[in-house]
Amino acid sequence: MVKPGKNRKASGSNGGNGGEAAASVPATPTVERASQSGFPPVVASTSPTMSSARQSAILPRRHDMWEQSLRQLDATAKAINLDPAAHEVLRHCKRTLEVAVPVRMDSGELHVFQGYRVHHNQFRGPAKGGLRYHHEVSMEEVKALAMLMTWKCALMNIPYGGAKGGVVVDPRKLSMGELERLTRRFTSEIMIIIGPDKDIPAPDMGTDGQIMAWIYDTYNMTTGHAVPQVVTGKPVALGGSLGRIEATGRGVSYITAAVAKEKGLDMKGLRVAIQGAGNVGSNAAKALHEMGAKIVALSDVQGAIYSESGIDPFKLFSQLGPKESIVGFQGTKTLTNEELLACDADILIPAALGGVLTEKTAPEVKAKIVVEAANGPTTPEADEILRVKGVTVVPDILANAGGVTVSYFEWVQGIQYYFWELDEINTRLHKIMTKAFSNLWALSKRERISLRDAAMRIAVTRVAEANKMLGLFP
């Protein structure tokens, strides 16, 4: 029979991709099957067909990411005259794993969740990529994001291939106990393909340092010894790296400052609008504010706020509870998320979900620079519209690469059992991010191509070179 699900306690995970605070939303209906052999009822996991009201405020997510990723690769392959054999290899994921994740719920019921882990490529090193908990996760999305990680790591010239993982779940509806049992069971299911020299997970949307701590402990208990480099984004007390939480947002600020400099713009007083006030958006806002930029707009899943005179992000976030919306902050005007995209600003930073800049919203963008802090916030149609408008778009595989870069630092520190000071971490991050940007900018100007095309050409060329040197086994 079909029965309504129960509202469960929010997990408090904000996610590494700018995930927002939890909302109270109705649970998805579940299907109860008759129990057998004395076991409690089994509840089949079903994915909601709609997001909550707060989640949907960020605009629809893309569902054709894999096809778009392939088209992007195909266009790059043609532009650089990529060897057809290498092209064919890169169009496929090396390994995909789909698992059922049975979890005992607080009610005593057994709930089966769907989980995924994908390795796109490992030519340049072990696979690296985040783990997301979201009710719209799909294999196609995970494959696309794994491919994106391959290009991102190659562009930053760090020794990783691309991976990604996800569980179809709304973590806000789980108690902490349920979330822990889900994480530990999922970890046990993907143990066959993860490891410090095989695949190193990290936080992403809906997951955080606590989730990584449970993965770390589960791996340790299974292997019988501590392996701190098996996962990154861990709490510092467990061998995590200083600066990892802020890394993606800080990296966004470094890239924003670099592109502003190339455009001859002074960061002091530069008007910046940021869609998303989660981990990435909030830390980018703070870092840019410290650089002298004026944060004129911010948003979360409930809406956006705008102030022509600027918003102090330190004051804003210090006054908010962990699940409190920024909407209504004193001295600000309330906007919708869509209106934020079109507000008066010099720089627009989409730092929430993908697919927010579309053929509908792109024509209204007033900013002359867009820095993609979220994964895939710009559709191909919007990309062309922005190009015609003369808007400079800094692609996601560069703009939000601060997270994977400091994850790399954490992995290295874990291998060495020697940990760096925060100043050293930020200095190294700045050096890697700005060097990658300089290479990108130079190619873009030399070939008269977009920054996105330049990024893809650099990344695909590096992966293809590794493929050529490795050869084919057997």
Residues 6+ apart with CB under 8 A from 253: 284, 287, 288, 291
- Let me know: does 426 contact 250? Beta carbons within 8 Å: yes
- Let me know: does 286 contact 252? Beta carbons within 8 Å: no
Q: State pLDDT tens for residues 260-280.
A: 999 999 999 999 999 999 999
Q: At the topology level of CATH, where does 245-401+445-454 sit? A: Rossmann fold (3.40.50)
Q: State pLDDT tens for residues 44-90.
A: 443 333 333 333 334 344 458 899 899 999 999 999 999 999 999 99
- Let me know: does 159 contact 84? Beta carbons within 8 Å: no
* Tokens describing residue 474: 């057997």
* Tokens describing residue 266: 């002074």
Delimit the domains of the chain by residue range. 81-242, 245-401+445-454
**Residue of 152, 164, 173, 294 with catalytic role:** 164
**331: Cα separation from own chain's centroid:** 31
Residue whose structure tokens are 């720089």 = 347
| CA 356 – CA 375 distance, rounded (Å) | 10
The amino acid occupying position 205 is: M
Q: State pLDDT tens for residues 143-186.
A: 999 999 999 999 999 999 999 999 999 999 999 999 999 999 99
Alpha-carbon torsion, ordered 300, 303, 309, 313, to 10 deg: -20
Asked if 81-242 and 245-401+445-454 have one fold, the answer is yes
pTM above 0.75, yes or no: yes
Question: Rounded to the nearest 10 degrees, what angle do helices 451-470 and 139-156 cross at?
Answer: 90
**Cα angle for residues 171, 177, 180 (degrees, 5° grid):** 65
Active site residue 468: no
* CA atoms 16, 20, 21, 26: torsion sign: negative
| CA 190 – CA 182 distance, rounded (Å) | 12
| CA 463 – CA 161 distance, rounded (Å) | 9
Pinpoint the alpha helices (H) of 224-278: 244-262
Q: So what CATH class is 81-242?
A: alpha beta
Q: Is 20 or 127 the better-scoring residue by pLDDT?
A: 127
* Tokens describing residue 95: 């390994």
157-170 burial by CB neighbour count: b if 16+ within 10 A, else e? Answer: ebebbbbbbbbbbb
Residue whose structure tokens are 């509202």 = 7
Q: State pLDDT tens for residues 191-231.
A: 999 999 999 999 998 999 999 999 999 999 999 999 999 99
Q: State the DSSP H helix or E strand holding residue 145, giving kind and residue range, or none if neither.
A: helix 139-156
Which residues is 347 bridged to in the sheet?
A: 272, 369
**Cα angle for residues 296, 299, 303 (degrees, 5° grid):** 120
Give the burial class of 29: count Cβ atoms within 10 A of its Cβ; 0-12 exposed, 13-18 middle, 19 or more buried.
exposed
**What integer is the mean pLDDT of 336-346?**
96
pLDDT band at 375 (very low <50, low <70, confident <90, very high): confident
The amino acid occupying position 63 is: H
Q: What is the pLDDT of residue 321?
A: 82
Q: What is the pLDDT of residue 55?
A: 34
| CA 241 – CA 426 distance, rounded (Å) | 11
